Amino acid sequence: MELILKQDVENLGFKDDIVTVKNGYGRNFLIPQKQAVMATPSAKKVLAENLKQRAFKDKKVIDEANKTAEAIKALDIKIPANAGTGAVAGAKLFGSVSNIDLANALSQAGHTIDKKFISINGGTIKRLGQYEAVIRLHRDVTVDLTFEVVAEA
């Protein structure tokens, strides 16, 4: 079943992509949730026209995302967390550090990024040390960010 996505769907595609999914997934989930519409020939023509008109506007958005990406790469993010006694490198944390904590640290640095666009390699963090995350600023612009989890003083 071919569908046109009306919004970004994780692990499937971005808004205005034409995707092929199984019939049940499209009919029972994506269409009722208003996340997609059927890709009829007339809907494809309308989509093509909309994409053509939007191409110029996207260039400006991509340029802004690239500037933000360069600024984020230059940041030195340290996330304080409660850790076990000794607080040696690799010590266990009391709790964990997730993409929410990284989003908060980035917002304190002046870059407001939604937590759903941040993906920490390996999932949640349960030890002190350096880690990497991938931040998606635009469908074409992603940033690899290295940050450190340090013991709280």
For the chain, domain boundaries: 2-59, 70-151
Partners of 78 in the β-ladder: 148
pLDDT of 151: 86
Yes or no: say if 142 and 135 are a contact pair by the CB < 8 Å rule.
yes
Q: Which CATH class is domain 70-151?
A: alpha beta
CA 123 – CA 97 distance, rounded (Å)? 9
pLDDT value at residue 152: 83
User: For the domain 2-59, what is the CATH code?
Assistant: 3.40.5.10
Find the length of the chain.
Answer: 153
Low-confidence stretches of the chain (pLDDT < 70) are 86-90
**How much is the pLDDT for 89?**
59
Residues 6+ apart with CB under 8 A from 49: none
Residue type, 93: L
